[in-house]
Amino acid sequence: MSIPVVAPIFPADAKPRRTIFLSLRWKLLVGFTLLFSIVFALAFFWFYTFATNQALTRIQQDLLDTLAGATTSVDTDVITSLATDPGVPNASGQAWLAHSIADDAETADAESLKAAAAKDFGKATPVGFSDDPRYQQLMDELQAIHNIEPRAWPYIYIKAEGERELTYLADLWARYNPSKASPFMFTRSSRQSYNGLTELTLRLDSETGEFIAYEDPFGNWISAYQPVLDASGNAVAAIGVDFEADYVNEVQAAIADRVVTAFIITYMGLFLLVFLISQTLTRPISNLTVAATRIGEGDYSQDLSKIRREGRINDEIVTLTNVFTIMTNKVYQREQFLRKQVEALKIEIDDTKRSAQVNAIADTDFFRELQEKARKLRAQNTD
């Protein structure tokens, strides 16, 4: 009993799917390059973060070392004297103090006050904010700190009346760029600086709480604050140090430049290497495809052993070639067997046709008459 073969039924309006051929070589190239890009990006991110943290840690340590030395190099008696008997700002200090006050003024004549202050400040000699010898001594001590560590810009402040209020006594920026300095005897509030009056305090990011470099209109900085103790161990003031953090940016820029160059060179080398490897892998498959096409057309004389010869170390291509060779031989043998069966069937069909033709002739009246005449002739010859 034969089993009927049911052909698959497709919708009448079914259309063949459009496909795009993408060679195995290009799949390997795209796959490897994408994988390399992801791995390289992760490695770059890790190295970039690691180097940045190392650079930040290094300058942080330099900052703390500078701050520790600064707190022991200033004269606490002079600080105490200025705190109890404040000096008077010089012309430069008065102009800049008025200029700073004008920034925060909420009066109708704020702009005129600010303009007048700026005009007076422009005429003042930018040598500092006070001519008081005590102030100049503190400035000299801050200058000595800066001379030892040029990246450090120190300033001294004391506690003022009011919650978290500070009064600035000396800021080294007054000698270099007064626009960056806190005015002499200028009072304002600052939470992190205020904490520096009692303990070592690092300036942290207000959102994350992490110690990071920050940026302002004057550059990139890290900052720390530490109390200044007198001979009795009492905190009389605090020193803040703004430390230039451009080194971190320089490290980041150097990493970016060098990594991009290394990435381009490595990327090109990897692309070439994958291209050569993919050619080695795909060439046997391409040759096997060509051989399979010819075998499908009936040419069984293909020597598949030339595609990939067996050796001490074989792979899937060798296995596939061997399996394909066995399959081809079996297909050839089956085809030869089928041909012999077809030939035998043809002969049987021819014999059947011949017998049918003979029977058809023998069944005619003409053939029967001939048989009768032949029988009579044989009888006469016998008599």
Q: Look up residue 30 and give its amino acid.
A: V
What does the block give as tokens for 334?
Answer: 């089956």
Q: How confident is the model at residue 223 (pLDDT cuts 50, 70, 90)?
A: very high
What pLDDT score does 125 carry? 40
Q: How confident is the model at residue 115 (pLDDT cuts 50, 70, 90)?
A: very low
Q: Is the model's pLDDT at 253 over the cut of 70?
A: yes
Domain ranges of the chain: 40-90+128-254, 316-382
Q: Is the model's pLDDT at 124 over the cut of 60?
A: no
Q: How do residues 309-362 score in pLDDT, each as one tens digit? A: 655 666 677 777 778 778 888 887 888 888 888 888 888 787 777 777 777 776
Q: Is the model's pLDDT at 214 over the cut of 90?
A: no
What does the block give as tokens for 100?
Answer: 């700073």
Q: How do residues 149-168 score in pLDDT, each as one tens digit? A: 999 999 999 998 878 889 99
Calculate mean pLDDT across residues 199-213: 84
**What is the phi/psi pair of residue 171, to 5°?**
-140, 120
What pLDDT score does 118 carry? 43
| Listed range (58-67, 174-183, 304-313, 349-358) with the worst mean pLDDT | 304-313
Which residues on adjacent β-strands are paired with residue 202? 224
**DSSP character string of 219-270:** EEEEEEEEEEE-TTS-EEEEEEEEEE-HHHHHHHHHHHHHHHHHHHHHHHHH
Q: How confident is the model at residue 176 (pLDDT cuts 50, 70, 90)?
A: confident
By CB atoms closer than 10 A (0-12, 13-18, 19+), residue 359 is: exposed
Q: Is the model's pLDDT at 184 over the cut of 90?
A: no
Higher pLDDT: 255 or 368? It is 255
What percent of the chain has pLDDT above 70?
79
Q: Is the model's pLDDT at 228 over the cut of 80?
A: yes
C-alpha 189/C-alpha 209 separation (Å) is: 19
Residue 90, sorted as left (phi over 0), alpha (psi -120 to 50) or beta, turns out to be beta
C-alpha 286/C-alpha 269 separation (Å) is: 25
| Listed range (44-48, 226-230, 355-359) with the worst mean pLDDT | 355-359
Residue listed under structure tokens 């005449």: 373
C-alpha 67/C-alpha 243 separation (Å) is: 10
What does the block give as tokens for 70?
Answer: 């600064």
What's the CATH number for 40-90+128-254? Answer: 3.30.450.20
Note the maximum CA span of the chain: 178
Spatial CA neighbour of 172 closest among 197, 154, 157:
154
Higher pLDDT: 263 or 144? It is 144
Q: How confident is the model at residue 109 (pLDDT cuts 50, 70, 90)?
A: very low
By CB atoms closer than 10 A (0-12, 13-18, 19+), residue 243 is: buried
What pLDDT score does 106 carry? 45
C-alpha 142/C-alpha 125 separation (Å) is: 20
By CB atoms closer than 10 A (0-12, 13-18, 19+), residue 200 is: middle
Q: How confident is the model at residue 114 (pLDDT cuts 50, 70, 90)?
A: very low
| Listed range (61-65, 132-136, 362-366) with the worst mean pLDDT | 362-366
Measured between alpha carbons, how far is residue 165 from residues 7, 83, 172, 220 in Å?
A: 92, 14, 21, 25
Pairing status of strand 165-171 against strand 219-229: unpaired
Calculate mean pLDDT across residues 39-52: 84
Q: How confident is the model at residue 126 (pLDDT cuts 50, 70, 90)?
A: very low
Higher pLDDT: 348 or 4? It is 348
Q: Is the model's pLDDT at 270 over the cut of 70?
A: yes
What pLDDT score does 226 carry? 94
Let me know the angle formed at the C-alpha of 97 by 96 and 101, rounded to the nearest 5 degrees: 115
Q: How confident is the model at residue 3 (pLDDT cuts 50, 70, 90)?
A: very low
C-alpha 245/C-alpha 18 separation (Å) is: 59
C-alpha 194/C-alpha 183 separation (Å) is: 17
Which residues on adjacent β-strands are paired with residue 170? 156
The torsion defined by the Cα of 52, 55, 61 and 64, in degrees rounded to 10, comes to: -70
| Listed range (137-146, 305-314, 367-376) with the worst mean pLDDT | 305-314
The half-sphere exposure of 100 on its side-chain side, counting CA atoms within 13 A, is 18
C-alpha 59/C-alpha 65 separation (Å) is: 10
What does the block give as tokens for 87?
Answer: 């000096």
- Let me know: does 235 contact 229? Beta carbons within 8 Å: yes
C-alpha 225/C-alpha 64 separation (Å) is: 9
Residue listed under structure tokens 């089956």: 334
What rounded mean pLDDT belongs to the chain? 77
pTM confidence score: 0.58
What pLDDT score does 100 carry? 53
Spatial CA neighbour of 116 closest among 132, 129, 105, 130:
105
Most confident segment among 115-119, 162-166, 169-173: 169-173
What pLDDT score does 93 carry? 57
**What is the phi/psi pair of residue 239, to 5°?**
-110, 130
Q: Look up residue 55 and give its amino acid.
A: A
CA-CA-CA-CA torsion sign (168, 169, 173, 177): positive
